[in-house]
Structure 1
């Protein structure tokens, strides 16, 4: 059986934290930032914990 490879894109986007949970960055901070308020941009910079329903799929992509 061939070696299983991890998804490199998922490895760059998600980080494993304590308790077998993942954190990710928020979307909508890449461009068109001039019309967004400072408060919105500040909140988009924060990391969030991935929902339980998505954790299984991410774990499968990263083969943990």
Structure 2
């Protein structure tokens, strides 16, 4: 059986935690930052976990993640 291909766009956006969950960065932090508060921009810098319902789709895109 051939190797499975990884979706390269998804591979750059996700990484796994030590416990096997999938981490992602938050959206809305790249431009139009002047109207966003400092607190909001600071919180957008942090990473968060992918929702349980989306983990299966991410694992299909990145089988070796």
**TM-score, normalised with respect to structure 2:** 0.89
Instruction: Give the length in aligned residue pairs.
Output: 64
Gapped regions of structure 1 (runs ≥ 5): none
Deviations 1:25-45 (A, max 9, x none): 000001000111100100111
CA RMSD of aligned residues (A): 1.2
Q: Which runs of 4+ in 1 moved over 6 A?
A: none
Q: Which has the higher helix share?
A: 1
**TM-score, normalised with respect to structure 1:** 0.90
Gapped regions of structure 2 (runs ≥ 5): none
Instruction: Between the two structures, name the one with larger relative contact order (CA 8 Å, sep ≥ 6).
Output: 2
